[in-house]
């Protein structure tokens, strides 16, 4: 199954809170969720953190699951996409700042998710220069994953690796997105202060380019198929 990650930013002049409200309550419900090939759909809205700055790169993340490449191509040709979701995007999103990744998901810690809106961290990374894609993936899924799963308070952990097709004519913008779920913001803040979390970040710095590491704290807003995520 394809796990698509879409990073988005508000259109000029739109406040972040209104951008997030429109995405969750209007665009996702009235347009994107109508595309028949989408199996699951979640909109993750950014939770501001100290040091984020006044204009973060992205204010939210869409997660879309499609069965395969054939369904993905078919979805882009439907009237629900062409006349609905695509036409609606300029009303709320700065499309020139959108980044799309098609990924393969590897669940490392399969714990259950919270009943209410879940809090999770998305760490986006680009591998260190000179490191092959094969070496990066192996390092991520072995030694690094073993460090991450030790973090106290971690509810669930998954790695989403950019699919091979994104390297067909060059380099992908990002190589992976690591997701870490916590009970709430307070649980994340407590985890971030632990030696285990710091050790995980220190290890990450040894095989990724620090200038391309982006961390977002997010709240899940499920539109389609949350029950399948447990």
pLDDT band at 116 (very low <50, low <70, confident <90, very high): low
Q: Give the pLDDT confidence of 46-98 residue by residue, as tens digits.
A: 999 887 878 899 999 999 999 999 999 999 999 999 999 999 999 999 999 99
| Structural domain count of the chain | 1
Position 112 scores a pLDDT of 63
Q: Which residues pair with residue 36 across a beta bridge?
A: none
Q: Give the pLDDT confidence of 8-45 residue by residue, as tens digits.
A: 999 999 999 999 999 999 999 999 999 999 999 999 99
pTM: 0.94
Cβ–Cβ under 8 Å, residues 57 and 130: no
The domain of 195 spans: 2-229
CATH code of the domain covering residue 210: 3.30.70.100
- How many of the other CB atoms lie within 10 Å of CB of 209? 14
Mean pLDDT, rounded, of the chain: 94
């Amino acid at each position: 199954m394809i796990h698509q990650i879409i990073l988005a930013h508000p259109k000029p002049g739109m406040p972040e809170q209104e951008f997030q409200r429109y995405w969750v309550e209007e665009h996702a419900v009235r347009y994107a969720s109508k595309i028949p090939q989408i199996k699951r759909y979640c909109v993750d809205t950014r939770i501001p953190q100290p040091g984020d700055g006044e204009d973060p790169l992205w204010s939210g993340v869409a997660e879309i699951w499609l069965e395969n490449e054939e369904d993905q191509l078919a979805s882009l040709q439907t009237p629900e996409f062409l006349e609905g979701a695509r036409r609606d995007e300029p009303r709320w999103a700065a499309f020139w700042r959108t980044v799309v990744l098609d990924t393969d998901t590897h669940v490392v810690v399969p714990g259950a998710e919270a009943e209410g809106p879940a809090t999770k961290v998305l760490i986006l990374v680009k591998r260190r220069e000179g490191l092959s894609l094969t070496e990066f993936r192996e390092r991520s899924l072995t030694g690094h994953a073993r460090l991450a799963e030790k973090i106290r308070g971690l509810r669930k952990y998954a790695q989403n690796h950019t699919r091979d097709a994104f390297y067909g004519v060059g380099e992908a913008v990002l190589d992976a997105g690591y997701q870490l779920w916590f009970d709430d913001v307070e649980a994340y803040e407590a985890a971030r202060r632990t030696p285990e979390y710091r050790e995980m970040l220190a290890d990450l710095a040894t095989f990724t380019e620090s200038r391309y590491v982006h961390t977002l704290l997010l709240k899940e807003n499920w539109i389609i198929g949350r029950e399948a995520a447990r």
